[in-house]
Copies of this chain bind each other. A is one copy, B any other.
Amino acid sequence: SKDTWQDNRFAGVVTGLAWTAAGGEILFVESSLSKGKGRLTLTGNLGEVMKESAMLALEYLKSHADSLELDESIFDERNVHVHVPEGAIPKDGPSAGITMVTSLASSFTQRKVKSRIAMTGEITLRGKVLPVGGIKEKILAARRAGINEIILSKDNKKDIDEIKPIYIEDLSFHYVEDILQVLKLALTEEKAEA
């Protein structure tokens, strides 16, 4: 089913965690680059706040191109498309921020995303990772989907501490404060399939 962990052969595909009326769910953020002049296209029935997360993610990468060993001019020569399947479901909120910045960093560097890792957290322009809601439901959804590792804001540790250990004994958690920590954890050195 589409709600289980997916392979990481391609650049730009990252597993996020969503919290809906029906409980927790995994979602995928996909990104793709094509020849262009720096236009950002957003699809997947996204609300304004979620679109802002993608704008923040792209701006963060532009102003931190050095840290990622990217030539700043690449941002002027590529159009960027970010999509969050599935189109019939409206999506919103800031919690896909770290998923989006990881997806874009993978697309721009063509580095593979680590397998069986998922994440949730708001980002800010300077690179802070802020806590988000629905942690318990998201974690259970991640586990059902075959995820092994989860990246969260340090300020969400308290939410994990409240979950009965037996539910999460096979998961490892990474608590972060900054986008650079996320990228270090989630991107491998291996090049993705073209």
Q: Tell me the A residues contacting B by CB distance below 8 Å.
A: 1-2, 10, 12-13, 28, 30-35, 41, 43-45, 48-49, 52-53, 55-56, 59-60, 62-63, 72-73, 75-76, 81-83, 85-88, 93-94, 97, 122, 124-126, 128, 130-131, 155
Known: A30-B125, A45-B49, A155-B2. A62 touches B35 (CB 8 A): yes
A51 to B44, CA, bound (A): 11
Known: A85-B130, A88-B94. A43 touches B35 (CB 8 A): no
A28 to B13, CA, bound (A): 31
Partner of A86, one of B60, B72, B86, B94: B94
Contact status B44-A88, CB under 8 Å: no
CB-CB nearest in chain B for A194: B66
Contact status B131-A34, CB under 8 Å: no
A63 to B13, CA, bound (A): 14
> Could you say which residues of chain B place their CB within 8 Å of the CB of A10?
126
Known: A124-B28, A126-B10. A56 touches B34 (CB 8 A): no
> Could you say which residues of chain B place their CB within 8 Å of the CB of A86?
94, 122, 130
Give, as a whole number of angstroms, the nearest-CB distance from A101 to chain B. Answer: 13
A80 to B73, CA, bound (A): 17
Contact status B125-A31, CB under 8 Å: yes
A97 to B87, CA, bound (A): 10
Partner of A75, one of B12, B34, B125: B34
A31 to B124, CA, bound (A): 10
> Could you say which residues of chain B place their CB within 8 Å of the CB of A32?
59-60, 63, 125-126
